[in-house]
Amino acid sequence: MFVSSSFMFVSFSSLYLTSNDRYVIDSGYVKQRQYYPSTCMYFLDVVQISKVQASQHAGRAGRTRPGKCYRLYPSMVYHDDFLDVTIPEIQRSSLAESVLYLKSLELPDIDIPKFDFLDPPSNLPDGSVWGDHFVFVSSGGFPEPEKGA
């Protein structure tokens, strides 16, 4: 009886296959959580990977012995279409939960609208930096908790 020692790993978030740390099949796409301010909802979108992610996928081939990475996209797509680095998650997220948490801490030294983020959230199409939700939450647009409750 012959038993195969290879197995296939499918990462549904990264859309690549790995077999025994020897072969990697890279589709060039990743499932990424994105926030859409127009609907106030998160969606799991399939988007192109960045050049950094492509290098990471290739690095998974041959960790323990010589290996090969097969890319299912032409090199022209890699050079022309892929971003150099992945967009930071804070720029693809809603800050409403974080702002509510900061407000709940009641820290007097933190001015939330002027907070110095390492990677500040991106501007929305209407030109506002924070959007309606952030302005509503940071300006105290919700009732203060009752004392002793």
Average pLDDT, integer, range 92-111: 77
- Residue 59's closest CA among 14, 4, 5? 14
CATH code at 12? 3.40.50.300
In this predicted structure, what is the pLDDT of residue 129? 47
Over the stretch 62-98, which tens digit does the pLDDT of each residue have? 888 888 888 999 999 999 999 999 988 878 887 777 7
Q: What total number of domains does the chain contain?
A: 2
> What are the distances in angstroms from CA 26 to CA 5, 57, 140, 147?
22, 7, 47, 56
Looking at residue 91, its amino acid is Q
Q: Are residues 74 and 128 in the same domain?
A: no
Residue 115 is part of which domain span? Answer: 92-138
pLDDT confidence of residue 108:
78
For residue 70, what are the CA distances in angstroms to 16, 55, 81, 109, 140?
10, 12, 18, 52, 53
The residue among 48, 65, 86 that closes a domain is 86
- The predicted pLDDT at position 148 comes to 53
- Cα(45)–Cα(42) distance, integer angstroms: 9
Q: Of 106, 104, 90, 100, which Cα lies nearest the Cα of 138?
A: 100
What whole-number distance in Å separates Cα of residue 94 and Cα of residue 107? Answer: 21
Q: Are residues 79 and 96 in the same domain?
A: no
pLDDT score at 4: 44
**Who has greater pLDDT, 47 or 19?**
47
Q: Is the pLDDT of residue 99 over 70?
A: yes
For position 126, what pLDDT does the model report?
A: 46
Helix axes 131-138, 96-105, angle to 10 degrees: 10
